Structure 1
Amino acid sequence: MPHHHTRRLTAALLVVAALASGCGGGKAAAPASDADAGDPVRGGSLTYGLEAETGDGWCLPEAQLAISGIMVARSIYDTLTAPDGDGGYVPYLAEAVEPNEDSTEWTITLRDGVTFHDGTPLTAEVVKDNLDAYRGQYPGRSSLLFVFILDAIDTVEVTGDLEVTVTTTVPWVAFPAFLYSSGRLGIVGQAQLDDPDSCDRELVGTGPFRLESWQRDRELVAVRNPDYWQVAPDGEPYPYLDEIRFQPIVESGQRVNALEAGDIQVMHTSTPDEFVALDALAADGVVDLRDSQDFAEVAFVQINASHPPLDDVRIRRAMAMAIDRDDYQEVITRGQFTMASGPFGPGSIGYLDDAGYPSQDLEEARALVAAHVAENGPLPTITYLDTTDSGARDLAVYLQQSFAEVGIDIELATIQQDAQIDTAISGDYDLTGFRNYPGGDPDELSIWFRSDSPANFGRIDDPEVDALLAEGRSEPDPEARRAIYEELNRRFGEDVWNLWANWTTWRIASAPEVHGYSLDTLPLLPDGSAPFPGLATGHPTMGLWTTA
């Protein structure tokens, strides 16, 4: 891997791995139904409270998009494919995405008559340029993580005015999932793609809203795209709103207060304490809620398996057996969330209720530690990296006390989040807390587990894991693929490459007059498919409307 990619990978990975504290996945306390809302009303403005700012902007091939950035990107841009209600992928901005017999060649046929916000047409040439930019093959654009995500692409060619043909180095049955990439692979207008100075802030997409203004750390304003290509049930183009304002409010408690006060009308959160506060407001009729842990991220402790004694599966299993998961659920997640069993969340291919992950067994854990010490001598110092967040420190102390019960003493070290990611990339750490692996096709997670990947933070070097990942990528039979990823899930459970914590539930909360984000009011996909139920990568905004 070129050295300059290693340096710049730091920034890209910052947004796809977050601290485990304050995150969870869990019981859906909110009914998420809006069946009595009536017919949508056009016009008006909403202010949406986001959990963070996207400081580096939206030059998408180079962008650093966590969930807040994806929410904005999905409002401004369209992706070529999109997930449906079953977690499969269907054409979206593309009219068709079709493979050859062995899935080594994919033909993307684009919708006719779609225009970018600057009036230029969607063509095969601009889509080819986008795909080349994402995979690091377009002059003037410096791709980050997508260089590795799309490394199985061999060529991208224009084969018609509205047709692009992609060839791959191996059979790639999950390729349509990568054309979505958790909402991050939006198609950018040629003018923005070629902008050498302001690609991050002069946004040109085909999406339902177009950028009006952006005051960094304060507010991004997007207004209705009157020429949007998708038509709503009333016969007019989406979106319903005239305007949507995105405000970054980093402190989740402040977002709740802003919603209660009417300063914002809708927000998202995945923080247990705010779930409790919002439940109380919902009980009083002040807010409406929608929860989802479908296709969820997972919170976990990342283990550097290249460091002794963590390279010994006995020590990793002993740490897993030291944790009382029922107690963890109550103490750390405030009883709100569901404990995780592996890297694949509910609804995802490969998900298992029981993947063989160890349950608490203090006696067996102590025996495993004793056996390791008898062979190798006393355990070396193990350090757990946490951050300045108070929840992260609570988690670190909880783990420290749990591990001490079985004879594993760890030291705690506190660093900033960006330094934490740098350290994970360098491999100079033992244990640290993360949140990652949003649901989708499990092949999308291969970058985190492959032994040759720069994003393999855990330094997993397991030929069986590599073999299963390669098989899953190219296996055309759906049931055979499911079996492959279930076996990979069991492999993670047996060898404890990570210490699984809890699934991440995301919650949307709004004023009662806001509609269009529940499963029964979300827009259908262009082919009539049901909308995707997950919230780990945000939700569409074109169907939002308000009676206020």
Structure 2
Amino acid sequence: MKMSRRTRGIAATLAMGLVAAACGGGGDSGSGAKAGDAPGDEGPPVSGGRVIYALEAETNAGWCLAESQLAISGIQVAKTIYDTLVQPDESGKMLPMLAESVEPNATFDSWTIKIREGVKFHDGTKLDAEVVKNNLDAYRGKYDGRSPLLFVFVLQNIKAVDVTDPMTVTITTKTPWPALPSFLYSSGRLGMSAQAQLDSKDNCDKDLIGTGPFKLKEWKLNDHFTAVKNPDYWQKDADGTQLPYLDEIEYRPVPDTDSRVEGVQTGQFDMIHTNGGEAVSQLQPLADSGTINMIANSDAAEVTYLMANEAKAPFDNLDARKAVAYGINREEFKKLRAAGLQDVASGPFAPGNLGYLEDTGFPEFDVAKAKEHAAAYKKATGKDLSFTMSYAADASTKISAELLQSQLADSGIEMKLTSTDQAALIDRAIGGDFELAYFRNHPGGDPDNQYVWWHSSSPVNFGKINDPQVDKALDDGRVESDEAKRAGIYEGMNERFADQVHNIWLVWSLWTVSSQPNVHGVFGPDVDGEKPFTGLASGHPVTGLWVDGGGA
């Protein structure tokens, strides 16, 4: 059963994963196949076999989902073990998954969720309304024993979650909330855990029990995460074949992009997940020669940007933010660091997303204006404009950071650099322990999903934006059900971001999944009769992955 047309028309993909700070951007597809398509005629899927899949980072804190801080690699692994109540189709509209239906009342402040019959967790326990309620309460900080960080605020607009009958849950919200289905997906982060995992005092992050297509076999930190087929998985493909097709999938954290590219080229890895035009430029010749399969697209693109901490000097000063914005040559950055394959970003909302504007009025490269605003900053504070930018310790990102440093030096702006690993950079952001940070975040979907990142009341408003106009737009956009009016609200907010230079946008992301020629089914089977979602910015399903020969 599908959602009502009204609900599907309003809900869109949430791509909310906690920031993945790395070299990235977005724009045009650079794939050997059509953007978003699987390469060639893959033929009928076969069952059996295994793949080794290299990801950009380890998930140090584990997968106690309510409490986890999952960047993209963690989300990818979570999609292997857990299912969500809803999932996106090709257009990003939310369709039921573990839910059989998700229906709002006329005012969008009460939602009825019917739970799918016959679904079991990996430990054999039943998925029912009670465990769904407990999961939702755990995410929003209302379940004893679980202490969430991010989702307490993300889901604070939920007033109550009630079990209506053994297979029905009703969510009551504090305000009308047309985008709620997007939050029930949360880029695949809002998976349903078994009661035993929810109640595990010491091992919730390690003893993973979902309803997903694979079950945890072994996790060795910083080495590998191995999952084996769930033989009792509830989904079958259109031909009635039991899913998933693979017998086993092994993830390996490989932070260095070049090492991932080399690994898929040599056959060390069956699959890799990479970001950015530079990686595509390395992989494209391999795809053209038939050495690998490659899918690259900017669907539901994130944005790579410089995030200023507006709660401390120098970026509590608008002239400082404008000086940096005018001092960066983004076209040069696109050419030298994105291989010309990623579009310069005008704001956080990429083309095709509600709120997108081709021209937001964001400052264009102008050395004279950069010097003018740097001088205004010095006049107001008595100090030269000088600060430190934090970035994730990756060789490619280091080169990008050094290019930006050189560009700003041409305007007389001193930018020092400091690097750390991805997890530590996220921790710094949470603690406000930075001046400027090189970030990648805000993937496409309903703009209401950005409320948590920008509203002044949010604990994960990393940039410490405190702008009444932004707050009003976020509040108004959340409750508005008319799509045309919502578009106007978020377009206006986009222009406000540019005017106040709340972030310094660089490029939109370009994500790539590359694999050996015998690996197929990256996007998985159809979703409730609809084509599956093609965005790669928050991982992809593994239910439909298969290899030539299978277990033969």
State the TM-score, normalized to the length of structure 1. Answer: 0.91
Paired amino acid for 2:178: V
The match for 1:470 is: 475
Structure 1 partner of 2:307 = 302
Q: Distance in 2 between matches of 1:244 and 1:98?
A: 35
Q: Does residue 1:81 correspond to 2:81, yes or no?
A: no
Q: Which residue of 2 aligns with 1:11?
A: none
Q: Which residue of 1 aligns with 2:140?
A: 135
Matching residue of 2:544: 543
Take 1:211 and 1:351, find their aligned partners in 2: how far apart are those partners? 40
Task: Note if contact 1:322-1:361 (Cα within 8 Å) is conserved in structure 2.
Answer: yes
CA 1:159 to 1:171, structure 2 compared with 1: closer, same or farther past 3 Å? same
For residue 394 of structure 1, report the CA deviation from its aligned partner: 2.9
Shift in CA distance, 151/262, structure 1 to aligned 2, threshold 3 Å: same
Identity among equivalent pairs (%): 47
Specify which of 152, 161, 168 is matched with residue 173 of structure 2. 168
Residue pair 1:173, 1:475 contacting (<8 A) in 2 also: yes
Which residue of 247, 272, 294 maps to 1:242? 247
Residues 215-294 of structure 1 mapped to structure 2, 5 A cutoff: 215-294=220-299
Q: How many residues align?
A: 530
Which residue pairs with 1:183 in the alignment? 188
Q: Give the equivalent residue in structure 2 for 1:460.
A: 465
* Secondary structure, aligned partner of 1:402: helix
SS, match of residue 61 in structure 1: coil
Give the 3-state SS of the residue equivalent to 1:180 in structure 2: helix
* CA–CA distance in structure 2, aligned partners of residues 530 and 497 of structure 1: 37
Distance 1:445 1:260 in 2: 37
Correspondence 1:381-420 to 2 at 5 A: 381-415=386-420, 417-420=422-425
Q: Provide the residue aligned with 2:113 in structure 1.
A: 108
Cα distance, 1:356 vs structure 2: 1.8
Report how far residue 38 of structure 1 moved.
1.4
2:45 aligned with 1:44: no
Look up the match of 2:336: 331
CA contact 1:87–1:347 (8 Å) conserved in 2:
no
In structure 2, the residue matched to 1:197 is: 202
**Deviating more after overlay: 180-189 vs 102-111:** 102-111
Measured after TM superposition, the shift of residue 65 of structure 1 is 1.7
CA pair 419-35 structure 1, distance change in 2 beyond 3 A: closer
- Which letter does structure 1 place at the counterpart of 2:315? L
**Offset of 1:85 from its aligned partner?**
1.7
Instruction: Provide Cα deviations, 1:424-444, integer angstroms capped at 9, x if missing partner.
Output: 334343212111112222111
Matched, 1:25 2:19: no
The offset of 1:152, in angstroms, is 1.1
Query: How do 1:497-512 residues align onto structure 2 when only pairs under 5 Å count?
Result: 497-512=502-517
Corresponding residue number in structure 1 for 2:12: none
Higher alpha-carbon deviation: 430-439 or 290-299: 430-439
| Contact kept? 1:309, 1:379, Cα under 8 Å | no
Query: How far, CA to CA, are the matches of 1:34 and 1:525 in structure 2?
Result: 20
The alpha-carbon distance between structure 1 residues 241 and 410, as it changes in their structure 2 partners (threshold 3 A), is closer
Q: For residues 147-182 of structure 1, what are the alpha-carbon distances to aligned partners after superposition, in whole Å with 9 as ceiling and x for unaligned? A: 111111111110011111111112111111110011
* Equivalent position of 2:365 in the other structure: 360
* Aligned equivalents of 1:245, 1:137: Cα separation in 2: 34
Deviations 1:33-62 (A, max 9, x none): 335121111222222222222222222112
CA distance in 2, matches of 1:387, 1:290: 25
Report SS of the residue matched to 2:470: helix
- The answer to whether the 8 A contact 1:27-1:338 is kept is yes
| Alignment partner of 1:207 out of 202, 207, 212 | 212
Cα distance in 1, alignment partners of residues 80 and 74 from structure 2: 10
2:39–2:293 CA contact under 8 A, matched in 1: no
Structure 1 residue aligned with 2:58, among 53, 56, 62?
53
Deviations 1:396-435 (A, max 9, x none): 3333332233343334445555554444334343212111
Q: Name the CA distance, whole Å, in 2 between partners of 1:331 and 1:290.
A: 22
Task: Give 3-state SS (helix, strand or coil) of 2:66's partner.
Answer: helix
Distance 2:157 2:249 in 1: 37
CA offsets 1:340-393 (integer angstroms, 9 cap, x no match): 111123332212222221211223333334444445544354333345434344
Partner AA of 2:18 in structure 1: V
Kindly provide the amino acid, as one letter, of the partner of residue 53 in structure 1: E
Q: How does the TM-score come out when normalised to structure 2?
A: 0.90
Once the two structures are superposed, residues 100-147 of structure 1 have per-residue CA deviations (whole angstroms, 9 ceiling, x without a partner) of 222111111111111112222110000001001111111122212111
For residues 537 and 392 of structure 1, the distance between their equivalents in structure 2, rounded to whole angstroms, comes to 20
Distance in 2, matches of 1:212 and 1:374, equals 62
The Cα offsets for residues 239-290 of structure 1, whole Å up to 9 and x where unpaired, read as 1222222222232322223222323211111154432321121122110100
User: What amino acid does structure 2 have at the position aligned with 1:52?
Assistant: A
Secondary structure at the aligned position of 1:148 is classed as: helix
User: Could you tell me which amino acid in structure 2 is paired with residue 458 of structure 1?
Assistant: G
Q: How far did residue 297 of structure 1 move?
A: 1.4
How big is each residue's C-alpha offset from its partner over 1:465-510, in whole Å with a ceiling of 9 and x where there is no partner?
A: 0000001111011221122111111111221111111112110011
Q: In structure 2, what is the Cα distance between the partners aligned to 1:380 and 1:284?
A: 49
**1:106·1:166 contact (CA, 8 Å) conserved in 2?**
yes
Distance of aligned partners of 1:128 and 1:347 in 2 relative to their CA distance in 1, 3 Å threshold: same
Please tell me whether the aligned partners of residues 393 and 421 of structure 2 are also in contact (alpha carbons under 8 angstroms).
Answer: yes
Q: Report the CA distance shift for 1:395/1:45 in structure 2 as closer, same or farther (over 3 A).
A: closer
The amino acid of 1:267's aligned partner reads: I
Structure 1 distance, partners of 2:383, 2:131, is 60
- Supply the AA of the counterpart residue of 2:24: C
* Contact 1:19–1:392 under 8 Å retained in 2: no
Q: For residues 180 and 388 of structure 1, do their structure 2 counterparts lie closer, same or farther at Cα, with a shift above 3 Å needed?
A: closer
- CA 66–19 in structure 1, closer or farther in 2 if over 3 Å, else same: closer
Give the Cα–Cα distance (whole angstroms) in 2 for the partners of residues 535 and 443 of structure 1: 20
* Helix, strand or coil at the partner of 1:179: helix
Q: Please state if 1:315 is matched with 2:317.
A: no
Whole-Å Cα distance in 1 between the matches of residues 227 and 439 of structure 2? Answer: 32
Give, as a single letter, the amino acid of the residue that structure 2 aligns with 1:536: A
Residue 8 (structure 2) aligns with: none
The code of the aligned residue for 1:442 comes to P
Q: Which amino acid aligns with 1:542?
A: T
DSSP 3-state at the match of 2:306? strand
- Select 1:490's aligned residue among 471, 481, 495: 495
Q: Which moved more, 1:29-38 or 1:306-315?
A: 306-315
How far, CA to CA, are the matches of 2:175 and 2:441 in structure 1?
Answer: 26
Matched, 1:150 2:155: yes
Q: Aligned letter for 2:25?
A: G
Q: Which amino acid aligns with 2:526?
A: L
Which shows bigger deviation, 121-130 or 221-230? 221-230
- Residues 301-322 of structure 1: per-residue CA shift (max 9 Å, x gap): 1112233443333332232122
1:245 maps to a residue whose letter is E
CA distance in 2, matches of 1:130, 1:325: 43
| Equivalent residue number for residue 518 of structure 2 | 513
Cα pair distance change 1:490/1:50, threshold 3 Å: same
Distance 1:77 1:426, change over 3 A: closer
